[in-house]
Structure 1
């Protein structure tokens, strides 16, 4: 297996895992995407808990904490891929829109935009 996954590969892995467990898991249908976003948020909470309880220095220096942190980040990404799959968002579609947003952000003046929000 490629050790540097791309979006298309992650979507395929998500689909394969679902196919292996589809008898016990929610259908791969759009109506279940909200549930999987909630699972994603739950996993993100676990990521935040590690940062809060162990701190970033531990994530950088302690191999066991780092592996646990990365595992939880992986869970977040897995649920993200489940949402994309349930909404039939392809790797190409996602990449195209992601790049558009990236280019927009590269040309933004954040200081000017957010100046009105500063107190």
Structure 2
């Protein structure tokens, strides 16, 4: 187990592979054809996050330690399935980071108001 307080992409991918190794006899292989199933599992976990927001509300998430713990746990499940998707499509930490940073730069220079006003 890692002692890191701030996980990086490569560490999360490694941890998911380690978890898969432990369960490889009963879990789907780390191959692209299984990727869409893990996207669906991730969406299911996002639904659980949404349910907490709907049922408990933002105030409880921010102020009730038990609710917050459950909320963050479900967000962790989302990220675990996200890493499973990246692993199944053989997306490297460097490839992901590069594209993420490019998209960040694009978004930093976007005029969202103007862009969405032109859609009408």
**Secondary structure in 2 matching 1:92:** helix
The RMSD of aligned alpha carbons is 0.7
1 CA distance for matches of 2:5 and 2:16?
Answer: 16
Query: Is 2:41 aligned against 1:46?
Result: no
Partner of 1:69: 71
Q: Aligned partners of 1:51, 1:39: CA distance in 2, in Å?
A: 19
After TM superposition, the score normalised by the length of structure 1 is 0.97
Q: In structure 1, the residue corresponding to 2:118 is in which secondary structure? A: helix
> Aligned to 2:102, which of 100, 103, 107?
100
Deviations 1:4-28 (A, max 9, x none): 1000000000000000000010111
Residue 3 of structure 1: how far off its partner (Å): 1.4
Unmatched runs of 5 consecutive residues or more in structure 2? none
Please list, as runs of the form range in 1=range in 2, the aligned pairs for 1:76-95 lying within 5 A after superposition. 76-95=78-97
Deviation per CA, 1:10-64, whole angstroms, max 9, x where unpaired?
A: 0000000000000010111000000000000000000000000000000000000
Aligned to 1:59: 61
How many aligned positions are there? Answer: 118
Moved over 2 A (4+): none
Alpha-carbon separation, structure 2, partners of 1:22 and 1:39: 17
